[in-house]
Structure 1
Amino acid sequence: MSDESRTRPSVVDLRSDTVTQPTEAMYAQMHSAPLGDDGLEGDPTVRELEITTADILGKEAGLFVPSCTMANLLAILAQVQRSEQILLEAQAHMVNTERGAATFTGTFLLGIPGSEGAMDLDRLEDALRPGASPLRTAMIALETSHNAAGGTVLPLLHMVAVAGMAWTRGIPIHLDGARLFNAAVHLGVTPAEIAAQVDTVSLCLSKGLSAPAGAVLAGPTSVIAQARGLRKMLGGTQRQIGIVAAAGLEAVTVMGARLTEDHATARRLSEGLNKLDPRIAATIPQTNIVQVNLAGTGRDSGYWVHDLEANGVLSRPLGERGLRLVTHRHITPADIDRAVAAFRSCLAAA
């Protein structure tokens, strides 16, 4: 069975890049991967993935975990104590979606208002001033690309400025880099150049990179060693998980370069929707996420999700009057044209 026939859906699935299927090369690597017990002597394929990813990110060590959510949680558990504070952009995924830090660690998340996923530096400076909070700030967390901000990418100069504020105060920085490779492609730099501005970084393998599951947390050897012990406490030891790690290896070494294609289809989608009707307003994407404001149509997002599905396009609501559309490896330019035609049909029916 070819890669195309195995993975090509019968509908245009724009719900998320998490729907990507493994490539044929990944299946081949999974079939032949050497395995061990990751909870005992260690799995050789997992070790190779951890070393390779850490090297790509310019960090000392890496840790393979089931999800980027767990990677972010472990970064906090390994570096922040109970009743300490973490500063993040107010709409960060770790604040509004994961919530694991606040629920399981006894730490407090303080959202700093920002724009396009970047914290307002003056507000951040105010939050760091002595006496600004009764709690000690023990971490600053960044996100790039920024999910809620429509896949926007933090400028490197912004990250450098945050690093200057944090490191002069002895505060570590964690990067939620679930879509870090998308950010690197947009900036035209290596993932390591972005990761150089933070202490620890998480990387999701199962979005645009197309591995079936998993993430890697990378950082200093001492932090990763502590996170490895905490991973076991969270039930994250996965035994002969080299089968999945093999796909992850293919993801981090091969799949990053092709993300330019996803960014191009996202721009095609945005341009097509903005030409349709003034009642529809689509964001101009930096990466692979397009947010669509449908308030002018007088119909809520639930109606649009239903009607688009009836026209062969899957989407996800963004609030009451919007949609979030994400391009990925299974979406071709022809699929984008089909999606725009579906929007046109829905408008006509309305």
Structure 2
Amino acid sequence: MKYNRLGSSDLEVSEVCLGTMTFGQQNTESEAFGLLDVAHDRGVTFLDSAEMYPVPAREETQGRSEAIIGQWLAGRDRSRFVVATKVIGRSGMQWIRDGGGLDRAHIEAAVEDSLRRLRTDYIDLYQLHWPDRYVPKFGGAFFNHDEYYEGTPIEETVAVLGDLVRAGKIRHYGLSNETPYGVSRFSRAAEALGVAKPVTIQNAYNLLNRTYDLHLAESCHHEGLQLLPYSPLAFGLLTGKYLGGAKPKGTRFQLFPFFGARYLKKVNKDEAIAAYLEVAGEKKLTHLALQFCRSRSFVASTIIGATSLDQLNENLDAFEGELSSHELRGILKVHRKYPNPCV
């Protein structure tokens, strides 16, 4: 396992980050412990969660993923792990602080709740799960001027994050599901307030959705943010198991048919996956997809998810190899023919 410095921070993270959004719903606590044990044994030191997890989000399960991580970390050397979690922007989830938000009161309450569930005194990387203002997200491809609202001023959000860093409750903060405009606004606000800038951005990035490359890559390069790509397997599409509309029993799309709408789009999706399968050849498609994320210079750590030990080990095995120049050329050729079918 390789380890990377996380941007301008003092954090060293494994190049694989274990995502935990299935813990407490698709995975029981004992199953989650098994996944955490294997990941740890194979060198993973970076864990990612969120106050709303597991997903699909429900009032009766909210917070379970963090609680499971906290239970597992109890009795272990906390300093050996980098723990990341997230606070939601405003939403329709009224059971989370009456719909959430990124103002001072909401963030301070959310941090205390996450610290309690995680059984820790500090959070290494605290991320804003999505903007408090209107942006098209989670499959929304077009900005609608008529839907715009401003939400909490970014300066207020940055100020409270700075206070939390000074208090030692969080070490660094990052963005998620953000835009180039948001990256710029947060960076300028931090400079004006004398607060450390965000160090990461966690956005969807995979062979079927490379919109990060279009404009965010430039913004993040100049502002010093590194990408933590989530959904590197495009909700499982890049395993090939959903080709032709198949929904194998026990898979996410079979259990939760309306979850992950952006990956249910059909325009050139199967054609692109089939083409990537040809590029992979004898290599597993999952390995091609994960090695692609790993090959990007702007990626600090790739967030993987797994609901079984077989899935976890297959994903981790991918990081023992690298893409060849022939595979990189093949990926570029397919991307040019089928650009971003699952935005």
TM-score (norm 1): 0.32
Q: Normalising by the residue count of structure 2, what TM-score does the alignment of the two structures yield?
A: 0.32
Report which of the two has the higher share of strand.
1
Greater Cα radius of gyration, structure 1 or 2: 1
